[in-house]
Structure 1
Amino acid sequence: MSDPHPPRLPDREDKRTFLQKLAEFIHPGPDSIAELIETLAEAEENHLIGAESRAMLEGVIRMADMTAGDVMVPATRMDLVDIGDDYDVLMHGVIDTAHSRFPVYEGERENIIGILMAKDLLKLQRAPELNIRALLRPAVFVPESIRLNDLLRNFQGNRNHQAIVIDEFGRVAGLVTIEDVLEQIVGEIEDEFDIAEDEGDIYGLADRTYRVSGDTTIERVDDAFGVTLTGSDPDDEFDTIGGLIAHEMGHVPKRGEHHTLAGLNFVVMHTKGGAVKWFKVSPVADEAP
């Protein structure tokens, strides 16, 4: 017969040494996020962790207090696909924006009915009789207030790469991707258009044109091409070529758009976060007919 009063198990043995206990008494652990980040900085100074590890750990800590609304692309800058467009219009939009996934709407932009994968458009090429609705994948909707750590778990668990962000009134507030979340931890994720800073912000291409970073100063562009770039309004002052071109165009430039200024043709190669990352620049006189 079992003992109704089994003996109490001994408390877990505290294996800390006296000096460790004394050190923890004198220097207790961090009580706030700011103290925790400061502790990480001290660990880096003491060569316990590297600079990259510290930056990533700080990103994880700060991410816990961030929401989808903090990192989303606003609804006004979302690239959407109209379900009513024909195939040529759809393909043109996909090529211009170079995204792999597109929210699809019907009627009003607020009415998101699904997600279209760019690669699925190839199926329409091979079988034009297919209905584009059959290619749509379910759209994921998340509240603007969702924490990024919770959102990352949702992305991992559901194998989704993007979600439509909804505000408190049920309207579309923006779009958030798994890349937006991961960049809070590891920093900006570079793509094929990003080059190291030491490679320069202006450099020649094989076709005798030039790639120019959008954040290149106007003065540097002037010196490189022997021109004087000024806007239509002399009173306007801009520091970067991206800011000047966007102002002259009157809207946020999109990939494939071009603008001529001071005898130079600026073609938008790549945009990110509403700003031009790279222009392709060539003198107007050197352009092929």
Structure 2
Amino acid sequence: MSDSPPSRPPRGDRPHASAARRDKDHRSLFVRLVEFISPGPDTTAELIETLADAEHRELIEPESRVMLEGVIRMAGMTVADVMVPVRRMDMLDIDAPYEELLAQIIEDGHSRFPVYEGERDNIIGVLMSKDLLKLQRAPELNLRTLLRPAVFVPESKGLNELLREFRSNRSHLAMAIDEFGMTSGLVTIEDVLEEIVGEIEDEFDEEDRQSSIFTLADGSQRVAGDALIDAVNEVFGTQLPDDEFETIGGLVAHELGRVPRRGESVDVGGLRFFVMLARGGAVRWFKVTRAPDAAQAVEAG
């Protein structure tokens, strides 16, 4: 007994094959015509130009354009682009006395700290600053019991993927490791978000803003990236040009050909600018000293 053939709709209810092809051809022709008249962007640079044009035509707000550009650029960035290098990390020693730990937490002002044992590369966990207060009420507690697991990510990980991990794991801090498995830096969720929304200010930033230039304990100067070049010249007795740029961050970026990253040093006009903090595509703070050659010339004079 043979199977009955599959049922088909009556001929009158079925669309004519040639009509369907014509509709498809018409839609394809329309799409091709639109793409020919107004082709879409083929590169990231063209997409950013499109956003700028949309802002110019008042289709989007300037703040929206900046955030969208941040999202686009972040897609090509990795942890290494925004992390704090290991030599600049503020860390706590598990064997340090309570008073020393408390003093460092108050001075640095972070909400979370990597904790190491023995060598600085041996990260054993992360301490929430507020958790340290528990030792005041219960001194018998072991500091190790207050540590939270440290998250380790390769420095080559994309920021998009890292942001997803931060959200899924509800973590705010990760340790970056290099290709050899050694600690190379630290990255926070704030570092990632600032690539999108720009710099996120807090109460410590507000205090820093009271002065754009002030002296550090070692005699060097801490200079804000938006400090006026005239102010820097006055402090150091230099003659840095201010005809094209007003801020020292703009001048240093121009001399280098790009915005320097955290941990980099640039010599300009007899001064050495070490990047202490860079966020949102700009330098927030420099540590400024006289370049070695310039310092020797001053001493000789």
Q: Please tell me the TM-score bracket, short chain as reference.
A: 0.5 to 0.7
Q: Residue 102 of structure 1 aligns to which amino acid in structure 2?
A: F
Distance 2:115 2:94 in 1: 6
Higher deviation after alignment, 148-157 or 50-59? 50-59
Alignment-derived partner of residue 27 in structure 1: 38
Contact (CA 8 Å) 2:175, 2:183: kept in 1 or not? yes
- 2:200 corresponds in structure 1 to 189
The partner residue of 1:99 within 85, 100, 110 is 110
> Alignment identity in percent?
59
Structure-1 separation of matches of 2:32 and 2:277: 51
Give secondary structure in 1 for the equivalent of 2:101: helix
The yes-or-no answer on 1:168 pairing with 2:179 is yes
Pick aligned residue for 2:285 from 275, 280, 287 = 275
Q: Give the secondary-structure state (helix, strand or coil) at the position aligned to 1:145.
A: coil
Letter in 2 for 1:106: E
Which SS does the other structure have where 1:57 is aligned?
helix
2:51 maps to 1:40: yes
Q: Aligned runs of 1:75-94 on 2, under 5 Å?
A: 75-94=86-105
Contact 2:113 2:128 in 1 (8 A): yes
Q: Which runs of 5+ in 2 are unaligned?
A: 213-221, 242-246, 249-275, 279-283, 288-301
Instruction: Sort the Cα spacing of 1:174 and 1:2 in 2 relative to 1 into closer, same or farther, 3 A.
Output: farther
- Specify the SS of the correspondent of 2:203: coil
Q: Deviations over 1:219-248 (max 9, x none)?
A: 5489xxxxx745xxx8x878999xxxxxxx
How far is 1:115 from its partner? 0.2
Distance 1:109 1:213, change over 3 A: closer
Q: Distance in 2 between matches of 1:102 and 1:134?
A: 15
> Which structure features the higher share of helix residues?
2
> Structure 1 residues 193, 98: closer, same or farther in 2, change over 3 A?
closer
1:95 to partner: Cα distance: 0.7
Contact 1:140–1:163 (CA under 8 A) maintained in structure 2: yes
* Match in the other structure for 2:256: none
What is the deviation of 1:27? 1.8
Whether 1:125 and 2:142 are equivalent positions in the alignment is no
> What pairs up with 1:116-265 in 2 under 5 angstroms?
116-194=127-205, 214=224, 216-217=227-228, 220=231, 229-230=235-236
Aligned to 1:112: 123
Q: Which runs of 5+ in 1 are unaligned?
A: 203-211, 223-227, 242-270, 278-289
Distance in structure 2 (CA, Å) of the matches to 1:32 and 1:147 = 19
Residue in 2 that maps onto 1:63: 74
Secondary structure of 2:40's partner? Answer: coil
SS of 2:121's equivalent? strand
Deviations 1:171-191 (A, max 9, x none): 101000000000110111112
Q: Match of 2:140, as an amino acid?
A: E
Amino acid at match of 2:64: S
1:174-216 C-alpha deviation (Å, 9 max, x unpaired): 0000000001101111122446xxx9867xxxxxxxxx97454
Rg (Cα) greater in structure: 2
Give 2:293's aligned residue. Answer: none
Partner residue, 1:250:
none
Residue 285 of structure 2 aligns to which amino acid in structure 1?
A
Q: Distance in 2 between matches of 1:89 and 1:166?
A: 28
Name the CA distance, whole Å, in 2 between partners of 1:104 and 1:60: 32
Q: Distance in 2 between matches of 1:157 and 1:125?
A: 33
Q: Secondary structure at the match of 1:108?
A: coil
Cα 1:51/1:129, change in 2 over 3 Å: same
- Quote the Cα distance in structure 2 between the aligned partners of 1:135 and 1:62: 38
Question: Structure 1 121/20 Cα, relative in aligned 2: closer, same or farther at 3 Å?
Answer: same
Of stretches 17-26 and 110-119 in structure 1, the one that deviates more from structure 2 is: 17-26
3-state SS of 2:187 partner: strand
Contact 1:218/1:229, CA 8 A, preserved across alignment = no
* Structure 1 pair 69–275 and aligned structure 2 pair: CA distance change class (3 A): same
What is the distance in 2 between the residues matched to 1:31 and 1:214?
A: 38
